[in-house]
Amino acid sequence: MQTIEIHVSGKVQKVGFRSCVKRIAQKLNIRGEVMNLPDGSVRIISTGEKIVLDKFVSMIYGCPRAVIRDMKAIDREFHEFNEFTVIKPNT
């Protein structure tokens, strides 16, 4: 098992991107979280088998209405999550 952090920039807020990422993660049995960042980008932290995480990253590009300009994934210290959740901003 491995944990990665993914930063996605482009038109990725207010287009259903976080929900799309959650659906893909649940389909692939990946656990973690996705959240909007103040700079307009999205951060995803996900834990799963390496080969499945690679597939997850490639499937994110298929989210409709999102226009991904840049996506970077980095390894993180292993973190176990119970499920995949969408973190809502504090308002």
Is 36 annotated in the active site?
yes
Q: For the sheet containing 84-87, what is the strand order?
A: 67-76, 2-11, 42-48, 31-36, 84-87
* Chain centre to alpha carbon of residue 55: 12
Is 18 annotated in the active site?
yes
**22 and 74 in contact (C-beta within 8 Å)?**
no
Among candidate residues 29, 31, 36, 69, the one labeled active-site is 36
Which of the residues are catalytic? Answer: 18, 36
